[in-house]
Amino acid sequence: MEVLIENIITYSIVAFLAIGIIYFQLKSNKKKSKIIQGKIEKAKELGFHEPVSLHPVVNLDICIGSAACIKACPEHDILGLSDGKAATINASRCVGHGACFHSCPVSAITLVIGTEKRGVDLPHVSQEFETNIKGIYIAGELGGMGLIKNAVEQGKQAMDNITKNLRRYPKAKYDVVIIGAGPAGISATLTAKEKNLKYLTLEQNSLGGTVYSFPRKKIVMTSPMHLPLYGKVKFTETSKPELLELWNEVLQKNKITIRENQKVVSIDKYDDHFLVKTLDDSFTANSVLLAIGRRGSPRKLGAPGEQREKVAYRLIEPELIHNQNVLIVGGGDSAIEAALSLIDDKSNKVTLSYRGDSFSRIKPKNFENISLAVNSKLIDVYYNSHVVEIKDKSVVLGFINDGISFEKEIINDLIYIFAGGELPNEFLEKAGIKITKKFGEVVLKH
């Protein structure tokens, strides 16, 4: 009897403890869910909740709330747990790592591009990265995948398919002309070299493509990846100079030359070859790989004086700028990062002009840093403003406040414009490539 009573007491204590643990766990989960819901509401208020391009979609019927996707995401507060299920918070900040997709133990996540309300223009590309024009392929950001690791992998896969489908014709000097020397273009070039193809790589700016235009201290988030003719690259995060140094090292070691400052203006298809024209030359090829990114050419403001030498559309070496009155135009991550990089040298006077009434769709760390800089009076920000005229020693800004328009002229030495890029739709359509608007189309699904 005593043993029975002891067992009953023991079981009662265990049951009581179990109930207590469950109670506190539920209470903790409820508290955490409340925090996540608060973040979601804040994201909606700031305009971060609505996705702008590639983003995760969670199947709540399958999700078990393991939080593996949240731990795997290299960004911050893209996903969170609400009521025991994964939920998107700042979907507009997703950069398409795909880490959440691969980490989910029950395959509850798909990667989707566009939404039912907001479409994204993308060229038609097959599973082999070939467009509707036989012989023209697309890899990297232009096809919807902008992350470095993904772009590198796509560049290799696209070149594998080009090699497999290659038919050589006597009128073509090259097996393939690769347009763009960003992550996808470099990977494709290395693969072409590895496969002993006769290739040519053209870049309208400098080696690195979009990466080259990042501010010098910009940290490029990536993950271990395989680079053709090099092997495994084990970076988890790196600076722009380190990444460019790696690419230069691999290219030099394999005696590969990229033809920089070669802007391609047209691709014409003939019966048995392509003619690729730049501003000052032309090349014939059996096939073409486009790895040019989605930004295309920088978007101009159209303001008087924009042609002045003090106006630029990318900031390359901010540490070389001293004692300057600098105006940054734009409100995206690139503009914010450029402005922040210029205050490292305390001799610069930095002003930021943004047409919106608050910064939206920027990374949390950038939002935190720009807020701190503004509160510390290190950067002046003019919201609801636009450039009216660019003069030799000044710039005129226009404002609209409560329906009232007015102007203000400020002293200025340099202007950096980050107004995005013109999508190369006209260029693509001229080549015959079909472009469609994707409204919530699945890109990756288990």
Same domain, 286 and 147: yes
Tokens 């999508």: give the residue.
Answer: 423
Per the domain annotation, does 22 fall within a domain?
no
Q: Distance between CA atoms of 228 and 156, rounded to whole angstroms?
A: 7
Per the domain annotation, does 14 fall within a domain?
no
More confident residue, 19 or 304: 304
Q: Is the pLDDT of residue 327 over 80?
A: yes
Q: Which of 36-50, 284-298, 373-387 has the lowest mean pLDDT?
A: 36-50
pTM above 0.85, yes or no: no
Cβ burial of 273 (10 Å; 0-12, 13-18, 19+) is buried
Q: Is the pLDDT of residue 48 over 80?
A: no
What's the mean pLDDT when you consider all of the chain? 84
Same domain, 259 and 335: no
CB 123 within 8 A of CB 142: yes
Where residue 95 sits, what CATH number does that domain have? Answer: 3.30.70.20
Same domain, 278 and 372: no
Same domain, 145 and 278: yes
The pLDDT score that the predictor gives to residue 103 is 86
Domain count, the chain: 3
Q: Is the pLDDT of residue 371 over 90?
A: yes
The pLDDT score that the predictor gives to residue 246 is 84
The pLDDT score that the predictor gives to residue 47 is 65
The pLDDT score that the predictor gives to residue 114 is 77
State which residues form the domain around 35. 31-113
Same domain, 178 and 317: no
The pLDDT score that the predictor gives to residue 277 is 96
Q: Under 8 Å CB-to-CB from 442, ≥6 apart: which residues? A: 110, 111, 112
Q: Which of 225-239, 365-379, 427-441 has the lowest mean pLDDT?
A: 225-239
The pLDDT score that the predictor gives to residue 120 is 72
The winner for highest mean pLDDT among 50-59, 136-145, 164-173 is: 164-173
Query: pLDDT tens digit string along 236-247?
Result: 666 777 778 888
Residue where a domain stops, chosen among 113, 130, 149? 113
Q: How many CB atoms lie within 10 A of CB 230?
A: 16
The pLDDT score that the predictor gives to residue 336 is 92
Q: Under 8 Å CB-to-CB from 87, ≥6 apart: which residues? A: 36, 40, 58, 79, 80, 81
Query: pLDDT tens digit string along 196-223?
Result: 999 999 998 777 666 665 555 555 555 6
The pLDDT score that the predictor gives to residue 117 is 75
Where residue 418 sits, what CATH number does that domain have? Answer: 3.50.50.60
Q: Distance between CA atoms of 83 and 102, rounded to whole angstroms?
A: 22
The pLDDT score that the predictor gives to residue 335 is 92
The pLDDT score that the predictor gives to residue 33 is 78
More confident residue, 26 or 232: 232
Per the domain annotation, does 1 fall within a domain?
no
Per the domain annotation, does 207 fall within a domain?
yes
Percentage, residues of the chain above pLDDT 70: 82
Same domain, 165 and 276: yes
Same domain, 402 and 264: no
From first CA to last CA, the distance across the chain in angstroms is: 58
Query: pLDDT tens digit string along 99-113?
Result: 788 889 999 998 888
The pLDDT score that the predictor gives to residue 140 is 83
Q: Is the pLDDT of residue 27 over 70?
A: no
Q: Is the pLDDT of residue 440 over 80?
A: no
Query: pLDDT tens digit string along 170-196?
Result: 999 999 999 998 889 999 999 999 999
Q: Distance between CA atoms of 152 and 161, rounded to whole angstroms?
A: 15
Structure tokens at 307: 């042609």
More confident residue, 286 or 141: 286
Percentage, residues of the chain above pLDDT 90: 38
